[in-house]
Amino acid sequence: EDQVTQSPEALRLQEGESSSLNCSYTVSGLRGLFWYRQDPGKGPEFLFTLYSAGEEKEKERLKATLTKKESFLHITAPKPEDSATYLCAVQAPRDMRFGAGTRLTVKP
Amino acid sequence: DAMVIQNPRYQVTQFGKPVTLSCSQTLNHNVMYWYQQKSSQAPKLLFHYYDKDFNNEADTPDNFQSRRPNTSFCFLDIRSPGLGDAAMYLCATSREDRGYEQYFGPGTRLTVT
């Protein structure tokens, strides 16, 4: 069965303290791995798509990378406005599966 | 701006009283999805439409139905809501069925009393 596991469940950082979020997956026939940001009470907001191992994408303070078994979302010098839940989702041939997310809090 | 719109944003219904949630999109995307998300959990796919083709997830309860009368609109019907159906319901769209990012609406928060 396709599975997506995100770690840690929650992460507290000081402003400027860089870190990484992990998304581990087991899926047959990966069609794409997606990162989303979700603020409380809102729908997820698309960040990145990664298709193959070795691929990297960047946007402002965020950088997403992909291997054959996991993806990382690196956050460089985070700011309080980066506080949110970050969701990873995997597209397999037969379904789309989300992880439970990492809840990031950045303290000023 | 092109977007995904969900109405209402908040819905309160009584146990067993049918309820309909609506979603519209101005992105002209082929695919529309309905997800259920409970607190601190991953969004769970209920079903999706590729154009007019309906795809039901195997574990979606029969209590949940959907309609897509045209490209722009999609509805989620909950025939007899139970307390366990209280959740955020998210509508999403994507350009194609596989390998394309999804764009989400703001969600409808359903409360069952």
The CATH number assigned to the domain holding B61 equals 2.60.40.10
Q: Does B77 touch chain A (CB under 8 A)?
A: no
Domain coordinates in residue numbering, chain A: 3-95
Domain assignment of residue B41, given as a range: 4-112
pLDDT tens, chain A, 108 aa long: 778 999 999 999 999 999 999 999 998 888 899 999 999 999 999 999 999 999 999 999 999 999 999 999 999 999 999 999 999 999 887 778 999 999 999 999
> Count of domains in chain B?
1
- Candidates A42, A95, A103; nearest CB to B45: A95
| Best residue of B40, B48, B59 to probe chain A, by most A CBs closer than 10 Å | B40
DSSP B59-75: T--TTEEEE-SSSSEEE
Distance from CA of A88 to the nearest CA of B (A): 9
Contact state of B107 with A41 under an 8 Å Cβ cutoff: yes
Would the pLDDT of B2 be above 70?
no
Give the residue-averaged pLDDT of B82-89.
97
pLDDT of residue A28: 83
- Predicted confidence (pLDDT) per residue in B6-44, tens digit: 999 999 999 999 999 999 999 999 999 999 999 989 999
Does domain A3-95 fall under CATH 2.60.40.10? My reply is: yes
